[in-house]
Each structure stands twice: as C-alpha cells, then as structure tokens.
C-alpha cells in the first residue's frame, strides 16, 4: 500500500522529536504540542521524573530503567517534567529525555 492510499484510512500527522541529555536536576520545558515523552537513565545515579523512580543499570555502560508516556492521536501533554537526581549522586548522573511533538505541515 502506498502513502497516498494509507492516508485515505489513517490521517497523516506531522511530528518531530527533541532529544536532550541532562546531568543536573531541573524543571524541563515541555515543547508546544508535545504528544509523547520517553525518559532513559543513562548514568550511575537513581533519578525521579515527576516522582517516578528510574534506577541506573547494574552493569556499567548499559542503559538503566526507562519509561514512556505516549499520547493518542491528537492528545497534547500539558504537564511538567521535573527531573531530580537522588543522593548519593554518582560520578556520572545522566538522563535522556525525548519529546515527540506535532509540527505545522505548512512550514
């Protein structure tokens, strides 16, 4: 099935992603028209994102726990993203946050 035939049944929606890595706790700006967020603990320090704990990997060099908040078609996330690294802070606290957001197709 080609793209034109597919959009006859499923409306196409343009989106983009923003990937950022954080090494200190902070309030993270949510992108306009954010539809989904993925969070991965890349470091050696437990962290929380909006109160959800994500532990580091027990194996050095591996990705730790992760979580995803996916939105259904047309849903927009209007919440906050509060990142906190938990004590004791390790040598390499690191968190990757990927935000998926809708974009204007005409731009």
40-96 tens-digit pLDDT: 999 999 999 999 999 999 998 899 999 999 888 889 999 999 999 999 999 999 999
Which has the closest alpha carbon to 93: 25, 27, 19?
A: 25
Q: Count how many domains the chain has.
A: 1
> Is residue 93 assigned to a domain?
yes
**Residue 60 sits in which domain range?**
13-102
Scanning the structure block, which residue is given the tokens 């994102």?
A: 49
Is this prediction's pTM over 0.75? yes
> Is residue 4 assigned to a domain?
no
Give the CATH number, domain containing residue 73: 2.60.120
> Is residue 8 assigned to a domain?
no
């Amino acid at each position: 099935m080609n793209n034109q035939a597919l959009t006859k049944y499923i409306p196409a929606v343009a989106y983009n992603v923003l990937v950022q890595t954080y090494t200190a706790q902070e309030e993270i700006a949510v992108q306009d028209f954010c539809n989904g967020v993925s969070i991965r603990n890349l470091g050696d320090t437990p962290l929380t994102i909006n109160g959800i704990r994500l532990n580091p990997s027990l194996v050095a060099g591996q990705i730790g726990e992760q979580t995803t908040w996916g939105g259904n078609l047309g849903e927009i996330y209007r919440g906050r993203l509060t990142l906190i690294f938990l004590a004791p802070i390790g040598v390499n606290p690191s968190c990757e946050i990927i935000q998926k957001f809708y974009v204007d197709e005409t731009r």
